[in-house]
Amino acid sequence: MNTISLRLPDSLYARLRELATRESVSIDQFITLALAEKLSALMTEEYLSERAKRGDRKKFERALHRVADIEPEERDRL
């Protein structure tokens, strides 16, 4: 495990302390979880972007044409 020194504006630190208290976690744990969420979001975006590059419009349209042209069930309607 590594340690970092972090400088935060007073207003941000106060809000951080408040939210960590509300969530019943330490400030360190709150920051760790927030960082993990951000990293996960960025990595997911990167993954989806790479997957999209492999997409093929013609293959998609061929697959779509195989789907039956029927009305969706009531529970599937938007």
pLDDT band at 77 (very low <50, low <70, confident <90, very high): confident
pTM of the model: 0.66
Angle, CA of 68, 72 and 75, to the nearest 5°: 150
Task: Give domain limits for the chain.
Answer: 10-67
In whole angstroms, what is the distance from residue 33 CA to residue 22 CA? 14
Q: Express as a percent the part of the chain with pLDDT over 90.
A: 90
Each residue's pLDDT tens digit, 32-65: 999 999 999 999 999 999 999 999 999 999 999 9
